[in-house]
Structure 1
Amino acid sequence: MTKLKTAIEIRQLKKIHSIAGIGYWVYNYSTKNFWWSEVTHNILGYQPGGVTPSRETLKKHIHPEDLVFFEESLKQMQLQAMEIEFRFYKNGELRLGKITGEVYEKEDIIEEVLFQDITDIKIKEFEIAKAWNKALEAENLKNAFLANMSHELRTPLNSIIGFSELLETGNISENIPRYASSIKDSGLQLLKIIEDLLKVSMLESRTAKPVKRNFNLPNMMLEVKDLTNRLLKNSNKEHLNLNFQSTSSHLVIKSDQNKILGILKNLLHNAIKFTKEGTISCTYQIKNQAIEFSVSDTGKGIPIECQTSVFQRFRQADTNGLNNFGGTGLGLYISRLEIELLGGKIWIASEEKVGTTVKFSIPNVIDHELIRDLDPNPEIYNWENYTVLIAEDQFTNYKILEAYLQPTNVNIIWAKTGREAISASLQNPEINLILMDINMPHTNGLEATKLIKETRPNLTIIAQTAYALEGDREKSLKAGCSEHLSKPFNKTDLLLAMSKYLP
């Protein structure tokens, strides 16, 4: 019975070792006899019984650089239990092994060792550690972004609320223009943050699409230069030298002008932000059918280890916040996505304390079929013989539009809902143009536009709405609107759009 129990236990132990992939060997120091289990044969790449176990055979499998360590560990095992990891070969493939063993001295000196191939375990541990580090990095990045975003949002909000309270409560008539200017600047700062977040959402979801058309490149560069001069003034860095390329005024390319304009503005904003002294340069050159832009500065530079990561979202070279440069860490990420959307690429060359050059190229921009768009931009409009219906449910938005239009002497009718807009357009045939808000109670602006167009198909309707996502413009035009202005828009944009239909 005892022999049967022992046989069963041995069989179960062999099964456990086989399932766990744990080999076993016994070495008798007195007789020099060496025995390997079946799993040990398999770990070393042999069929059971396919080789005679010996120290020499075992050593042939140990990596040469680990052999001395392996032999010394076996000697130390005679003094105390040992657990070591080492490299070995199985059928020519390098693997990682682990032995756990000790030496017993009774009638003979016996070495008993458990032997395991831990290669796959280590790989999984590495992958888990890598995934954990990645998750930890993402968590830290998220926390840093939220903390930074809180700062970026609260700063302009503090200015808007503070100056608004001053305007509301005090006798400060002499300071009104200055306070109003601060409120406007802070509002634009908030708008930039919101627009960046919306851009990221659209670009990552692949819903954004480029709008390519022919445009005059030198004219666009003049606009970029004007923007840059304003950035220098607002940053109190008018002492920096500005180097802009000047070329033929007849160079026309075909691409998405608004996206290129935004990319250049963002790169120049960064150049100004990180430059205290020296020069900001912006140049371009045509290479075959592509255009390559270059923005250079003599600023603080970017550490080499950050020059790739700055094109990822929420990444900034100044991660500790000690230099107080601000920003959301989205600018270069958005630029990269928009450049890739146009089929181009962006790259960077930078040296700390020397400066940075960012270049990007966009292919297939040469198209000789020129589009000559009229660009009426008179400084003064006189529309005293015209009537405009403003369909807007928000009183403050209506008052802004009324203030914008007041210098033009145009006659204004106000409709607070979509139904009122429909009724007013039918009852007042003198209405020449409608500024139609989209999100209104009862009947929204798109539905109102469709109904108005059924009876007055030639009446000009301009959508003015806070809906600014990809496809919203197309919805407005499909409903019958002639133009689509995304809020917030400025006075110049509004008057320019209206001037196309009110001579």
Structure 2
Amino acid sequence: MERHDKQEIETGFRKESIEKAARDIRIATIAAAVLFPLFTILDAVIYPDLIGAFILIRAAVVLGSIAIFVIVGTGAERRHARGYGIVAYLIWTCSIVAMVHLTGGYASPYYAGINLVLITFLFILPLDVGRTAFVCGVVYLSYLIPMFFAPPISSHPTFLNNHFFLVATMILVIMSSYLSTKMRLKEFTARFRLARANEELKELDILKSQFFANISHEVRTPLTSIIAPVQSMFQGDAGRLTEEQQTLVGQVYRNSVRLLDMINQMLDFAKFDARKMQLRLARVSVAEIVRDVVTVFTEVSARKGLALSYEVLEEVPTVYLDREKMDRILSNLIRNAIKFTDSGSVSVTIGRNATAIVIKITDTGIGIPDDHLKRIFERFQQVDGSSTRRFEGTGLGLTIVKEAVELQHGTIAVESTVGRGAEFTIQLPLDLETRAPDAFIERRGRDRRNADRPFTGPDRRQGPRRGAESSRVSVEDLAFADAGDKTGNSVTAKSPATADGLEVLYAEDNEDLRTFVSTMLSKFGHRITTAVDGQEGWERVLRLPPDIIVSDVMMPRMDGYEFLIAVKSTDETRHIPFILITAKSELDSKIEGLEFGADDYLPKPINIRELEARVRNLVTGRKLHEAALHTRELEGRIQELSLSFSRSLELRDHYTAGHSNDVLAYGIIIAEELGLPIDARLRESLLLHDIGKLGIPDRILLKPAALTPEEWATMKKHAEIGAELLRDFESFRDVADIILAHQERYDGTGYPRGLSGDSIPMIARIIAVADAWHAMTEDRPYRAALSFSEAILELHRNRGRQFDPGVVDALFSGLVSRRILTHHDVNKARCVMN
């Protein structure tokens, strides 16, 4: 890829250099044609006797410059502009060289003219370093060679002085040409890469819009298939539902409509962004359209306690407009006005002026800050984009409104005062059909809206969604979806609580989700208290601390993060488990929540069973954590349990009574010599190493003689039996792996898995040596105890085969340091082995 770019850069730079040379040479030839004749004045003053020859030379330069100017001006010769640049340089410089030789050769003061031409035209007509060096070389030779045929040099200082400055000037000109070319190439490369990046960004933007539209379209298709049966269920066409089922189906239906509307808005935005949105004009009564939309949203505004009014200021004629886009414009603006107004009124007026229909939507809501007014129609802009914002939205609604208005050759403006409300003014032309000649016009279309159609009441949602209409979201659909968005109060869910049910506080600002989650969690026997935001949730926690808190992140007044911080920074509540739930799936959001002290984090959509499981697990974990505060008591109980297991075995086999405690003592001696920690795992492993013998039949375990091969095969299973037994206890799972390996041999010939060397756990290697030492030095039913010397000799004999040499040495060292053995005992055994 880089090689391909390099080739493109070189090719592009070459083309640009040719174009630049063509422009520069025409400027340079004009400059030469003007400047060269002016120096005739100098010729007349210094060399009046040569004025005729100089005039001819300068005239030749002018004619040559004009000729090159004309030739390069033709399209065919522009590609050779750099070659003509060399010719021009040679004409200008060689003419000065000729004058130099006519006026004394090396001693002529006109040599400075060569320097002047080279330096001046370096800026007017820059050549690349190769061509510049060629010109300088030719000029230098034309200056130097004739001197060999002239009279001998009489003033060497003058010759050297002029020669030095001429050569130095040429070197500087060549260096300047090199640096200039390099800088131009660097600048061209930067411009090339910038242009390439810009093209790639444009392509990515196009691909993004296409992908955006394709995905939205593909999502819309199955979504409309979901809405149709849900609508039928909600309307009772599929049978009568219980009140609870009706509520749940209504939530699904309402939020499906919202989702479909969001997808349609994204599709519209993609079309507007790609300039592919088309106008479908029909003659409509704008006054009736506005009246109908206002009527539809009357119920929504009433639920919120707002007065929604409509007034016709002047009679408005029927005009050609895009009916669907008018629905979108009006519904978006009226919905926004209702959403951002807590009390007061929303008014819609319609009138006209000489050239346009004027519609105004005015509210008494929160208003728009001045710093947001200029950006309010930009994509994804929201007045409040923080996690505590009160109002949901994609930030596309007003962008689509503006695009839809401007597509109909209209204008939209907004005026607002914070705390007093906002007023949107739309002006739509009376003659859109003439301003938009390319629009599709339904000449025989009629307004399908019926002024007598009822927009309220139970029959409003009757009628299935058919054909192309199934993917449209009508104004009535939007009003139905918004009707359920009334401000919900927090509630305590009444549920058949069970004895093991928990007190759960659930904070969520979305009423549908709050109702659904609280209802479903209550079915698991929990007692649910809800809050509409973090502030109310915190107040409830202070009044009656729950067993656990589940909270959304983005809520008004106090968001989930602030709620979490309040809970975790207060001594009386910091122990309460806290689960954060959010629609944001980014890892950074999860990390942020966990850093604030969240005990768990769940993304939306919420899986109720998973949430319930995590609720129970966290509360259980908290209780275990509280129990863990009594660490010493718990460790003592575990140790007692270990001793109980070992005593259970000793009760079956009185011959080995005390064996586990003795192995524990020897094992601790070895561990101390090896510098290992004397922790619970070591103690439990040493105490319980033979626990598997509980599963060995008495006829084998208690047999007072040597075992048969079959019996020995059964006895060898005790390590596996012990491991399986201990794995049933969470506290002993690490110990189980050690017990399983304590019969392995250092050389790999042990059982059950044939481990060898360091692959055998260190504690298992310690158990093997401690167990063997105790078994050899204690009486058994089938043999008497070995002497210390015999036991030392036996361990030495199996050192490196059955036992880890380091562990054997640690046992001897520990027994000597505790004066159980002497150095003489150990050294004597070593001498026997040697």
Both proteins in one fold, TM over 0.5: no
Larger Rg over CA atoms: 2
Name the structure with the higher helix share. 2
What TM-score, normalized by structure 1, do the two folds share? Answer: 0.42
What TM-score, normalized by structure 2, do the two folds share? Answer: 0.28
Name the structure with the higher strand share. 1
